[in-house]
């Protein structure tokens, strides 16, 4: 009996994914389709995502309705989610969104990375507040966000919010 309820849950996940894809397709209809650079218009990528997501949802539901995920291993990890970790990651994302225009892309993304990694480290039971660990996480965030900022602003000419008007930080 437990396997049948699991199949229903899996089919519901598939249906939800397919409905999300259809919702994206409904939104993609409203995007104009005039071809731009390279022969594709601004609605190309939303349509690709909508079609692939809908197809994945249908395939997930089909798998669930024809016997479920038969070769799936039992899940690893804790029995339940660790909510404080979600709070850390969510705080990082929300602060990034709130501060990106104030302190710039590099610093806000570094802060987002630092807070998200703190949540993940704490969920794993690691020592997250040691000065060396915080320093490594801060440096890692900078080493990821700065090249991304420079690639977008210098090479692709896409304006991202910076701390100064120089385009370097």
Would you write out the chain's pLDDT as a tens digit for each of its 169 residues? 445 556 888 899 999 999 999 999 999 899 887 766 666 677 888 899 999 999 999 999 999 888 877 777 777 777 777 899 899 999 999 999 999 988 999 999 999 999 999 999 988 888 888 889 999 999 999 999 999 998 888 887 778 887 666 656 6
Residue 1 contacts residue 39 (beta carbons within 8 Å) = no
Residues 57 and 100 in one domain: no
Residue 76 resides in a domain:
no
Residues 88 and 124 in one domain: yes
Residue 105 resides in a domain:
yes
Query: How many domains are contained in the chain?
Result: 2
**What is the pTM (predicted TM-score) of this model?**
0.60
Residues 95 and 148 in one domain: yes
Residue 135's domain comprises 83-155
CB atoms within 10 A of CB 21: 20
Residue 163 resides in a domain:
no
Residues 148 and 104 in one domain: yes
Residues 59 and 101 in one domain: no
Residues 9 and 58 in one domain: yes
H or E segment to which residue 97 belongs:
helix 83-123
């Amino acid at each position: 009996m437990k396997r049948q309820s699991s199949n229903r849950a899996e089919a519901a996940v598939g249906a939800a994914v397919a409905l999300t894809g259809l919702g994206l397709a409904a939104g993609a209809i409203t995007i104009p389709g005039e071809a731009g650079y390279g022969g594709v218009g601004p609605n190309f990528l939303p349509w690709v995502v909508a079609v692939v997501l809908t197809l994945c949802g249908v395939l997930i539901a089909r798998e669930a309705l024809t016997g479920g995920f038969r070769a799936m291993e039992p899940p690893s990890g804790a029995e339940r989610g660790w909510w404080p970790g979600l709070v850390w990651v969510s705080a990082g994302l929300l602060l990034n969104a709130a501060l990106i225009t104030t302190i710039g892309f590099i610093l806000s993304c570094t802060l987002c990375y630092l807070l998200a990694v703190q949540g993940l480290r704490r969920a794993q039971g690691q020592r997250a507040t040691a000065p060396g660990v915080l320093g490594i996480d801060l440096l890692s965030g900078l080493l990821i966000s700065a090249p991304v900022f420079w690639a977008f602003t210098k090479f692709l000419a896409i304006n991202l919010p910076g701390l100064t008007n120089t385009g370097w930080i």
